Structure 1
Amino acid sequence: MRSRYYVHEPERAHFVTSTIVDWLPVFHTAACCDILAGSLDFCRREKGLRLYAWVILENHFHAVVHCDNLPRVMADLKKFTAGKLLAQLEVERRTWLLDLLAAGKADHKTRSTWQLWQEGYHPQAIYSDQTRLQKIEYIHANPVRRGWVASPEHWRYSSAHEWLPGGQPVLRCDLWR
């Protein structure tokens, strides 16, 4: 994955953002959101990814994460989810979206028909508890700012559910250490 963004301090947690090519609305169905959430969970269980907060929106996701090899895990996550999401778009017969993903493919992507993710994931190191809390609040407030829900915990594909008594989160987060 070519990118001008790098993890310079792998010992720190990072705020990351991954965006669909041309900001196309891939995550409009539960099936597509579940693919990404399931992949994040797999990376937690099998690849050492610590997930502290997350949200999936229609064309991107944000997360606060930490991992010994964050660049590798993010590359694996995006590669795996791209294949699964493209197959799901075919099942959903969203050919108009597949056509746009083909048109948005970077010229150097010669081994594929489509490009789902923009390159990079914009890692921003987190240096303080204040910054960590600010990023988590930003993540959880995204659906509210867009006017989709009245309160962060009403958005199904978000870690805001973690703090609800008896909440049923789609994906559990790790405790901050």
Structure 2
Amino acid sequence: MSRYLRPRLPGAPIFFTVALARRGGTALVDHVGLLRAAVAQTRAERGFHIAAWVVMPDHLHCIWILPEGDCDYSTRWRLIKARFSRGLPMGARRESHVARQERGIWQRRFYEHHIRDEADMAAHLRYCWWNPVKHGFMTRPEDWPYSSYHRDRAMGWSVW
């Protein structure tokens, strides 16, 4: 069995990509309220700051900043995924999903990247904001409703 060694850098901003098990679906935008509730409940229990977030139909990207001295983002993702999944009907499951008591909605792993500096942060913010355009859903980031772009621009953030 593979063992993933994840870096432990408390306080560092972290960029994540998290995807559904079956790409091409629309569960995340179809049930965005359920996703928001799962995130809100997890944040209430295990606080973290959301620097950026974009929800696509079958995956999401975000940047989190955990509290100083805390680097346990894996537990937070486990809770968010489980809470979201419990609100959906059981999907088609492989034998390995049954053995692990998984619903088969999410990919098991996620991608994370610890932000190195201001330029890296700006690049990943832009990536989040422009992802709906990249995938052809919109021609401008401000037209995508499931993005922190609106909050970020209202606060005066610009990374152009």
Aligned counterparts of 1:102 and 1:124: Cα–Cα separation in 2: 31
The CA deviation at 1:53 is 0.1
Change over 3 Å in CA distance of 1:55–1:72 after alignment to 2:
same
- The alignment partner of 2:22 has SS state of helix
The CA deviation at 1:75 is 1.1
Matched, 1:57 2:56: yes
Could you tell me the percent identity over the aligned residues?
Answer: 22
* 1:31-110 correspondence runs (5 A): 32-67=31-66, 68=70, 69-84=72-87, 86-87=88-89, 101-103=91-93, 105=94, 107=96, 109-110=98-99
Deviations along 1:37-91, one digit per CA (max 9) or x if unpaired, are 222233333311211000000101110012222111111111111111x24xxxx
TM-score of the aligned structures, taking structure 1 as reference length = 0.73
Q: Who is 2:147 aligned against?
A: 158
Pick the structure with more helix per residue: 1
Runs of 4+ with >6 A deviation = none
Aligned counterparts of 1:5 and 1:22: Cα–Cα separation in 2: 25
- Give the counterpart letter for 2:92 in structure 1: A
The CA deviation at 1:36 is 1.1
* 1:105-144 correspondence runs (5 A): 105=94, 107=96, 109-110=98-99, 112=101, 114-144=103-133
Select between 131-140 and 3-12 the one with higher mean Cα deviation.
3-12
Aligned counterparts of 2:131 and 2:86: Cα–Cα separation in 1: 26
Change over 3 Å in CA distance of 1:121–1:5 after alignment to 2:
farther
Aligned counterparts of 2:83 and 2:139: Cα–Cα separation in 1: 33
RMSD: 2.4
Aligned counterparts of 1:108 and 1:58: Cα–Cα separation in 2: 22
- Give the counterpart letter for 2:28 in structure 1: F
Aligned residues: 149
Aligned counterparts of 2:22 and 2:36: Cα–Cα separation in 1: 21
Aligned counterparts of 1:164 and 1:37: Cα–Cα separation in 2: 20
Structure 2 alignment gaps of length 5 or more = 156-160
